[in-house]
Amino acid sequence: MLTIRQIPVLTDNYIYLIHDQLSEKTAVVDPALVDPVLSELSNSGWSLDYILNTHHHADHVGGNLGLKSETGCTIVGSRSDAKRIPGIDIELGEGDIFELGESVAKVLAVSGHTIGHIAYWFGVDDALFCGDTLFALGCGRLFEGSAEQMWKSLGKLKTLPGATRVYCAHEYTQANGRFALTVDPKNILLAERMERVNQLRQDGAPTVPSTLADEFLTNPFLRADTPELRATSELPDASPQTVFAEIRRRKDRF
């Protein structure tokens, strides 16, 4: 069983410290910075064993080398993007298994935001660390990949259980929700969710993690295969991939 600590850094990033209770092995997911991680480790009394990177962007790997120097930890990342993951020791890809002590993660290849982006799904713990592929009420911008790649990647995440908690890497939910309402305006569940999101942000509380169950019902990027999103995208007969691409284009201009 995992204990998960959420560390807010920079403007809107989340770093996750995850600790297997049985083995006392600890990993950090996408460390943008060194000092906040070392501080949380000290507060928790944990020793860092692994860094789990989802992709190569600086706000996800910026702390890699510093943490490795301080702790001697092992860095884990994408096999297909190993040249851009600083200090990588273990290379993983689609379908591989990563063991954090007794806690086991399945690796999913989820290119789109970047080529070589991966996610870690700890099924027993209902925990998905998906970097910048899926956000609460949103998805990552297509910096390197195509709409076809991202839609395929999101399709993999849609097969996971609804109880899965989505530990995405940014606090973008409120802005994502404002956009979502423009393309799914009749979605009552979305409107109700946004009321909760707005209250949480007003209280200074995080909106992450969400659950996949909530995302299935309210995230427009996961709903590109629904009649409602086809209609508001003015693409009533288009494929889900085409509808997704149109929604993503609108979000980029929002």
Mean pLDDT of 88-114: 98
Q: What is the reported pTM? A: 0.97
Q: 49-76 pLDDT, tens per residue? A: 999 999 999 999 999 999 999 999 999 9
Please give the C-alpha separations between residue 155 and each of 26, 149, 223, in angstroms, as whole numbers.
30, 10, 11
Cβ count within 10 A of residue 162: 13
pLDDT at 70: 98
Residue with tokens 């600890």: 26
The active-site residue, picked from 19, 20, 30, 55, is 55
Q: How far apart are CA 58 and CA 79, in angstroms?
A: 18
Q: Which residue type does 13 have?
A: N
Secondary structure element (H or E) that encloses residue 195, with its range:
helix 188-202
Q: Return mean pLDDT, the chain.
A: 97
The confidence score (pLDDT) of residue 222 equals 98
For residue 60, indicate whether it is catalytic: yes
Query: What CATH number should be reported for the domain holding residue 243?
Result: 3.60.15.10
* pLDDT at residue 68, as a whole number: 98
Question: How many domains does the structure of the chain reveal?
Answer: 1
Active site residue 56: no
% of residues, the chain, pLDDT over 90 = 99
Q: 145-159, pLDDT tens digit by residue?
A: 999 999 999 999 999
Residues spanned by the domain of 154: 2-253
Catalytic residue among 59, 81, 125, 184: 59
Per-residue model confidence as pLDDT tens digits over 196-252:
999 999 999 999 999 999 999 999 999 999 999 999 999 998 999 999 999 999 999
Alpha helices in the chain (DSSP H): 35-44, 58-61, 64-71, 147-158, 173-183, 188-202, 212-218, 227-232, 240-253
